[in-house]
Every structure is written in structure tokens, then in C-alpha cells.
């Protein structure tokens, strides 16, 4: 990078605020754009007095706001979205407006401002009904939810903008990210903070299905690493490594700059419950007696998800430091200290 200014959309959210914190500590000038619909001012409160932090409360669905947010930035880390598969099933129109219209606004604003690189939060939901494990970037199935459709369309738009407008785009397909600042409240809270909150309060968490569905749970620090690498890898290295990796793919495989961001592991929901309960019982031994409640699977959920991270290793030099177990331990300690 020839400058140290970047823009982080969704910067008051779970992942975005962690990215803000990291890049501020590294000395970057950070502009944070967030409408505070799913993010929280408390997540960025410690940064508001810093001279290298600028907060814009605004919406990515407004092109003018997007243009203001990217002024002078060389890199954009686009995290803003309306998440959750169930939310998208209940409200596909708002999901589309935020995740596609908002995404396109940010791409257009970035193109017009001369942004060099646009790194965006993609999603493992893009793999849809593909039963192939582990998931490899060039092998996807049919989307199973409106949310998954929006995330796939993001990848298509990014690829076209790279080809037409010479802006480098890198998509990071997150796999079940968890960790500090992930909100445990609300109808669409993710499974780990939701269960942790229930366990701390000696309540029985709900497990959808029989608990044998599995996920590649990914600790937040691994995601920070992936974003740092994607933002800072020199262009010539990116292109050289991509060309080498593409030589290993079938001739008809998509050859785009989209990468799985995960640990490459596989944890069932039953094992997740046992791990969270065991970690929290270190602080309150009575938690060990809490039992889960089983109910029907949710529409749009896939049975199993596990990532291949070979592409990210080879191209971005991604080396995740936290497996699921160590991440669960870190997260439980943070929630115990912050939810009590």
C-alpha cells in the first residue's frame, strides 16, 4: 500500500469492529461506515477519540454516503450486510436491498474513487446443496436461501468489476465465524453466543435436529488474519500466485479471487454444546448439569460444512492460528467476563 487509509463498512458490527481495532493498532487511518442496524456504537466507543478513526453513521443503500466513506482510501474492507439465513427467508426484500444494492453501491463508489482493492465478506452459504466435502472454491451447488443468493451475486458483481474497471476484488467466504463482540441477543443471533448466553443463565439451549449437523467454526482472529493478508498482499504476488494455483484446477473451473476463510475442521452441534458447556463450567460448575433441548431442523440449513483452505494458504499465505477448540475457550472466557 502506498497510503495507510482504508474504509471498513459494517465497522460497528462483530467482524467489522474487530477489524477496526486491529488496523487502528497497526497505525492505519480507518473510516468506519455503519448504520447501526445490526452493529452497535458500544463496539467502536473506544475508538471514537482516536485521531486516526472516523465514523460515518450511514447506509450502504445510499450511494452518496458510500462515496463519502471511500474518499481517499486505497483499500475497502466491505463487511456490511444483512446476515442470517432465517432472516432472509422471512424478509428477502430487505436482504436483497442491503446485500446486493448496497454491495453494488460500494463497488461503484470504490471504482469512481480510484480504490485499488476491494475485499469483501463472502459466505460459505454459497456452496448451497453441494454435498462435496471439504468445500473447494470452484465447486458450488444451488443456493438454498435468499441470503445465499445475495452472496453469490456479490461474487459475480465483484468478478465483473475486476474485469471491466481494473479494481482488484477479493472475496473471503467466511465459515461460521465466532468470537468476542458477537451479539447474543435478537431473533437472529448466531448459535455460539446464543448458547453461551443460555448456559450462563442456566437455560436449556435449542439444538436444531439431532445435533449431528456439523460446521467449520472459525475464530475471529483467523478472519482478521485473512483480511490483513487480502488487503496487503502486493498485486504482483497476488497475480503470480493466482496464476500458479489456477494451473492446478480443471480447465473449465472458475478462476477468481475468492477464498475460503476457516480452520478446515468439522464440529457437530452436539460436540459444540459439550465444549461450550465444559468451558463455562470452569467459571460456574453448576452449568455442567444444563441439558440441551432438541427441535426440528431449520429450513435452508445444510447438513455439513467443512472448508478446504488450500487456496488461501497457497495464494494469501493464510495460516489460521486458532482451531475450534482453542477458539471456543477464548470466546467463553470473553463472554463470561462481558455478559455477567
Catalytic annotation, residues: 147
d(CA 255, CA 205): 42
CA dist list (Å): 36 to 78, 80, 206: 15, 10, 28
**Can you give the C-alpha Rg of the chain in angstroms?**
19
Q: ω before 303 within 30° of 0 (cis)?
A: no
The DSSP secondary structure of 72-102, one letter per residue, reads T-SEEEE------HHHHHH-HHHHHIIIIIH
Residue 23 cell numbers, joined: 488496523
β-bridge mates for residue 142, sequence order: none
Other CB atoms within 10 Å distance of the CB of residue 153: 17
Containing H/E element for 177? strand 177-178
Containing H/E element for 224? helix 220-232
| Torsion angle of the four alpha carbons 59, 64, 70, 71, in this order, in degrees rounded to the nearest 10 | -140
Total residue count of the chain as it appears in this document: 340
Closest CA to 33 of 112, 109, 84: 109
119 by Cβ neighbours in 10 Å (0-12 / 13-18 / 19+) ranks as: buried
Q: If you ran DSSP here, which 8-state letter would residue 97 be given?
A: I
Q: Phi-psi region for residue 171, left (φ > 0), alpha (ψ -120 to 50) or beta?
A: beta
Helix (H, G, I), strand (E, B) or coil at 189: coil
Q: How far apart are the first and last CA of the chain?
A: 42
Amino acid at each position: 500500500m502506498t497510503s495507510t487509509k482504508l474504509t471498513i463498512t459494517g465497522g460497528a458490527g462483530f467482524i467489522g469492529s474487530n477489524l477496526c481495532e486491529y488496523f487502528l493498532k497497526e497505525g492505519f487511518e480507518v473510516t468506519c461506515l455503519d448504520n447501526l442496524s445490526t452493529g452497535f456504537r458500544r463496539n467502536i466507543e473506544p475508538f471514537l477519540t482516536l485521531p486516526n478513526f472516523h465514523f460515518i453513521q450511514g447506509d450502504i443503500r445510499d450511494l452518496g454516503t458510500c462515496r463519502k466513506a471511500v474518499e481517499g482510501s486505497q483499500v475497502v474492507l466491505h463487511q456490511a450486510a444483512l446476515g442470517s439465513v432465517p432472516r432472509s427467508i422471512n424478509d428477502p426484500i430487505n436482504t436483497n436491498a442491503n446485500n446486493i444494492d448496497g454491495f453494488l453501491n460500494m463497488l461503484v463508489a470504490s471504482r469512481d474513487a480510484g480504490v485499488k482493492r476491494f475485499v469483501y465478506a463472502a459466505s460459505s452459504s454459497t456452496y448451497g446443496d453441494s454435498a462435496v466435502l471439504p468445500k473447494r472454491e470452484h465447486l458450488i451447488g444451488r443456493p438454498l436461501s435468499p441470503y445465499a443468493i445475495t452472496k453469490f451475486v456479490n461474487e459475480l458483481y465483484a468478478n465483473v468489476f475486476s474485469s471491466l474497471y481494473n479494481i482488484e476484488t477479493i472475496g473471503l467466504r467466511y465459515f461460521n465465524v465466532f468470537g468476542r463482540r458477537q451479539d447474543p441477543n435478537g431473533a437472529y443471533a448466531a448459535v455460539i453466543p446464543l448458547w453461551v448466553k443460555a448456559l450462563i443463565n442456566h437455560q436449556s439451549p435449542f439444538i436444531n435436529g439431532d445435533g449431528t449437523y456439523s460446521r467449520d467454526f472459525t475464530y475471529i482472529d483467523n478472519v482478521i488474519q485473512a483480511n490483513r493478508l487480502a488487503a496487503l498482499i502486493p498485486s504482483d504476488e497476488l497475480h503470480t500466485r493466482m496464476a500458479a494455483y489456477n494451473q492446478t484446477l480443471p480447465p473449465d473451473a472458475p478462476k477468481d479471487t475468492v477464498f475460503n476463510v476457516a480452520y478446515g475442521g468439522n464440529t457437530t452441534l452436539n460436540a459444540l454444546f459439550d465444549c461450550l458447556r465444559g468451558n463455562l463450567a470452569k467459571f460456574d460448575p453448576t452449568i455442567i448439569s444444563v441439558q440441551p433441548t432438541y427441535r426440528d431442523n431449520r429450513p435452508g440449513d445444510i447438513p455439513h460444512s467443512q472448508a478446504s483452505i488450500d487456496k488461501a494458504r497457497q495464494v494469501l499465505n493464510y495460516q489460521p492460528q486458532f482451531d475450534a477448540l482453542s477458539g471456543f475457550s477464548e470466546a467463553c472466557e470473553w463472554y463470561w467476563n462481558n455478559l455477567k
